[in-house]
Structure 1
Amino acid sequence: MKTTTQTTVAEGKPEQRLKELGIELPAAPRPFGTYAEAVQTGNLVFVSGMLPTEGRQAKFVGRIGAELNLDAGRQAARLAALNGLAVVKEHIGSLDKVTRIVRLGVMIATTGDVPDQPKVADGASDLLQSVFGAEKNPCRLVYGVASLPLGTPVEVELIFEVVG
């Protein structure tokens, strides 16, 4: 039995779902270097690594297990995913054109002894599932790294399938 929320998401209305959740996408971030934020080839849109930034500033700085805890990491992953959604929306015009989230990659800066990296990545995964529905969950790769741009704890990359 589907709930109203699951039905709305299953009907392919992520723009409406964002409104229902009270989520307003931020302005799409601009590159911090020489690269494109999104590239489309055929029906696939590749979104460059998204950081947990607001404007041109990192909102979260530090490593999980040192300066930041798991909850802060989850929040950082969620914000990075929101930035990714803003980029893909700017690129294709509407999130309603997304037919599938193909892949989610989450890099997490840790002290090296943090076994709960998947829990941090769930900050991004949970957001995507709440907007697009479980049937569009992507495959996911999560891995720890020594450092990330701007000293952020998380970087998220996304690949979307979209209506041509």
Structure 2
Amino acid sequence: MTPEERIAKMGLVLPEAAGAVANYVPWAISGNVVMTSGNLPWRDGKLAYAGKIGRELSGEDGYRSCQLSCLNAIAQIRQAVGELSKVKRIVRLEGTMWVDESFKEHPKCLNGASDLINEAFGDKGQHTRMIYTNPVMPFDCTSLVVLYAEI
């Protein structure tokens, strides 16, 4: 199965890649690596998740937000290379979340992105990752995901 087929089997729809919201490109290729810019939890051109995890949103909402942000990052990779079967490996996932200072379950939320990557890409999805938090997020979004993929 292709990554696109695995994503569909999960009941998810790989969206069209979103455009930039400021003065940058959504993705860049350097050598054999494609790097995405930060991807927010967009659905049909609107933020699906806004607010702080642990305050306005639950940890489960944070998981789904990270999953959706990652789905948008995967769409950027597909736009960059044409089809996801060209990905040799997802090298790195970086997730930034907007969380209440009392919330400590960041890793479980970012698993929304990691679980998607691992399911969609199988062994090629085994990645490193880094979690960040921001005191303020663009558009009050809950999550932002960046992916690095070897092609």
TM-score (norm 1): 0.87
Name structure 2 gaps, 5 residues minimum: none
Matches within 5 A, 1:53-132: 53-132=42-121
- Aligned length, in residue pairs: 151
- For residues 135 and 36 of structure 1, what CA distance do their matches in structure 2 show? 25
Give the equivalent residue in structure 2 for 1:29: 18
Check whether the contact 2:90–2:124 (CA below 8 A) recurs between aligned residues: no
Percentage identity across aligned positions?
32
Structure 1 residue 150, shift from structure 2 partner: 1.0
Question: 2:143 maps to what in 1?
Answer: 154
SS of match in other structure, 1:74: helix
Find the residue that maps to 1:50 and give its secondary structure: coil
* Structure 1: distance between partners of 2:4 and 2:43: 21
Q: Per-residue deviation at 1:55?
A: 3.3
Output the CA distance in 2 between the equivalents of 1:57 and 1:63. 17
Contact in 2 for aligned 1:112/1:146 (Cα 8 Å): no
TM (norm. structure 2) is: 0.94
Q: Which digits, 9 at most, give the CA deviation of each residue in 1:18-53, with x for residues without a partner?
A: 343343211111111010000001100000000001
- 1:50 maps to a residue whose letter is N
**C-alpha distance in 2 between matches for 1:85 and 1:27:** 10
Report Cα offsets for 1:103-150 as digits up to 9, x if no partner.
Answer: 000111011221110001000000111101145311000122212111
Instruction: Give the letter aligned to residue 137 of structure 1.
Output: Q
Larger Rg: 1
What amino acid maps onto 1:30 in structure 2? G
Q: What is the root-mean-square deviation in Å for CA atoms of aligned residues?
A: 1.3
What is the CA–CA distance in structure 2 between the aligned matches of 1:67 and 1:82, rounded to whole Å?
A: 23
